[in-house]
Structure 1
Amino acid sequence: MSNQKAISGAKRPRARKRRFYQIGPDFSGGRPGFWVEDESILPPYRVDRLPASTPHVPYVFDKKVGSLPRDLEVCYHWWLISDRTKAVFERLDPEAFVFVPCDVRMPHGIYDGPKYWLCDVVRVLDALDESQSRLRIGIRNDVRYIDHGRKYYELSLGDKLVFREAAIGNAHIFRMAYHDAGIICDQEFKDACKSAGLKRIWYIDVLKL
């Protein structure tokens, strides 16, 4: 009898909370040897998200100028990603992204490397638990900003972000509402990228910015 009471009174282990990371390109590696050949192809600066209807983006790769792109690089406020990166992203969370193919050429010879894509994280979630987080929250009063008159988040070293998992649901990657540059992924997304051997990507634990 006493054993039954002990078993029934035992506490159940708490479900582990998902871990989240800020994700982005690793800027180490020296001077880049790649650039957009015709910038007029790209959407105007004030277009927040990359339209799927964007024409093929012409890129020049020249290793004499600098290092060639790896799996994830910055392209203005989007990403330039390799074909294998696209495969991982699409497998994990296809609805989170827009991909636009790049036409790559080299100044000398013919490019025969992997395909590259312009990529944008188009899912935006208002999922931050502001009461549990540590960051600056304000109203943008500078007319030079697109979000003039609206709430914004400003992140600094030492800040902490706590997210409401119910607002994230099954999503593995998203942009933060009120902080467009903040792209967040979960542990599963990070692990999949690591397992695939994707290079040139950094992750920062959002609890220890």
Structure 2
Amino acid sequence: MSGARAKPKGIYMLHSQGTHGWEFANWDRLQPDGEGIGLHFRESPWPDSMLDLPRGPWRIPDYAETPKLIFDSKRKVQDIYAVEYFLFTSDKMKSLLEEFAPKSCEYLLCETEFSNGKPGPKIWLCSVVDSYRKAVDVENSPLIRVTQWGGYMISGGADWCFLPAVLKDAQLFRLVEYAVAIFCDQSFKDICKDRGIKGTSFQQVGFLPK
């Protein structure tokens, strides 16, 4: 129909399904303070304040040891696992990410083994580092409240209104004000389904006007 308005694109939070079927063999040895895979805020590589760019949200730290994962030999291996603020991905998922969002992530190859002693699957620690600030129209997103520190407090729902002028062509990204989450667009969701990626879960949180 001539003059009809274009339908806005859906924006989703990316999750993994269920619990991961593996455990760390060296969690307490990865970093000097024994805090596992997470970022050291006191040694943060972010050159500016917590809400300023340029910065590298959730850059993979320089671990003392390579993360080693022990997989349950009785459980099927998924293509994606979300742990804290990182993803652990199969070779198949990494290939998709490198093809579809080549500048959005950084990777570290893990050591793996099955619980029965056999060699484990090829798994990559992945961090989404492509980030945007002020990419949400807060005034038109009634379920978002801005805290005194400038971050977002969310009360639920799928009413976020994202700003296309800020996100442009981003398809897999983080928000500086809500860096705990990984966001993607409808195209990324669709390609994961088309490629048969196992273990992904998508929660629609809002839309990106055309």
Letter in 1 for 2:82: V
1:22 aligns with 2:13: yes
Alpha-carbon offset, residue 155 of structure 1 = 1.8
Q: Secondary structure at the match of 1:95?
A: coil
Partners of 2:104 and 2:172 within 8 A in 1: yes
What residue ranges of structure 1 are gaps of 5+ in the alignment? 1-9, 141-149
Larger Rg: 1
Q: 1:13 to 1:159 in 2, by over 3 A?
A: closer
1:122 aligns with 2:129: yes
Q: 1:108 to 1:194 in 2, by over 3 A?
A: same
Aligned position for 2:72: 62
1:104 aligns with 2:112: yes
Question: Please, which of 35, 44, 51 is the counterpart of residue 23 of structure 2?
Answer: 35
TM-score by length of 1: 0.77
Q: Distance in 2 between matches of 1:97 and 1:200?
A: 19
Aligned position for 1:186: 185
Give the fraction of aligned pairs with identical amino acids, expressed as a percent. Answer: 24
**1:85-138 CA deviation, whole Å, 9 max, x = no partner?**
11111111111101111110234332254x111111111112111111122323
Partners of 1:135 and 1:153 within 8 A in 2: no
1:197 aligns with 2:163: no
- Number of residues paired by the alignment? 184
Letter in 1 for 2:114: M
Letter in 2 for 1:25: S
Map 1:40-189; keep pairs closer than 5 Å.
40-41=29-30, 42-46=37-41, 47=44, 48-51=57-60, 54=63, 56-63=66-73, 67-111=75-119, 113=121, 115-126=122-133, 127-140=135-148, 150-189=149-188
TM-score by length of 2: 0.77
Q: What is the root-mean-square deviation of aligned Cα atoms in Å? A: 2.4
Alpha-carbon offset, residue 32 of structure 1 = 4.0
Letter in 1 for 2:206: L
Alpha-carbon offset, residue 18 of structure 1 = 2.3
What residue ranges of structure 2 are gaps of 5+ in the alignment? 31-36, 45-56
